[in-house]
A = this chain, B = another copy of it.
Amino acid sequence: MVRKPTSKETARKPNMREAILAAAEELFATNGFNAVSVRDIAHAAGANPGSVTYHFKTKDGLLLEIYRRHCGPMNLRRSELLAAARRVRDLQDRLEAIVRAYVVPAFTSGSDLAGGGARFTRLRAVMSAEGNEVARKIIAQTFDDTSHAFIDAIHESLPHIPRTDIVWRSHFLLGALYYSLVTPERVSRLSRGEVDGSDAAGAIEQLVRATVAAFQAPALDQAASARRRPVVSSKT
Q: Which A174-215 residues have a C-beta within 8 angstroms of B?
A: 174-180, 182-183, 186-187, 189-191, 194-195, 197, 200-207, 209-215
Contact of A163 with B194 in the complex, beta carbons under 8 Å: yes
CA distance A182 to B126 in the complex (A): 11
Chain B: minimal CB distance from A163 (Å): 7
Q: Is the CB of A128 within 8 A of B175?
A: no
CB-CB contacts below 8 Å: A6-43 with B: 30-35
Question: Interface size (A, Cβ < 8 Å)?
Answer: 78
**Closest B residue, CB atoms, query A195:** B164
CA of A171 to CA of B184, assembled, Å: 9
Please, which residues of chain B bring their CB within 8 A of the CB of A163? Answer: 191, 194
Asked if A84 and B234 sit within 8 Å, CB to CB, the answer is yes
A64 within 8 A of B: no
How many copies the complex holds: the figure is 2
Stretch at the interface among A44-52, A53-61, A224-232: A224-232
Task: Find out whether the CB atom of A129 lies under 8 angstroms from the CB atom of B190.
Answer: no
Q: Given known contacts A163-B191, A190-B144, A225-B205, is B176 in contact with A180 (CB within 8 Å)?
A: no
Given contacts A130-B31, A202-B225, A210-B168, contact A177 B180 (CB under 8 A): no
**Residues of A bordering B, CB below 8 Å:** 30-35, 77, 80-81, 84, 100, 104, 107-108, 125-126, 128-131, 140, 144, 147-148, 151, 163-165, 167-180, 182-183, 186-187, 189-191, 194-195, 197, 200-207, 209-218, 220, 225, 228, 231-234, 236
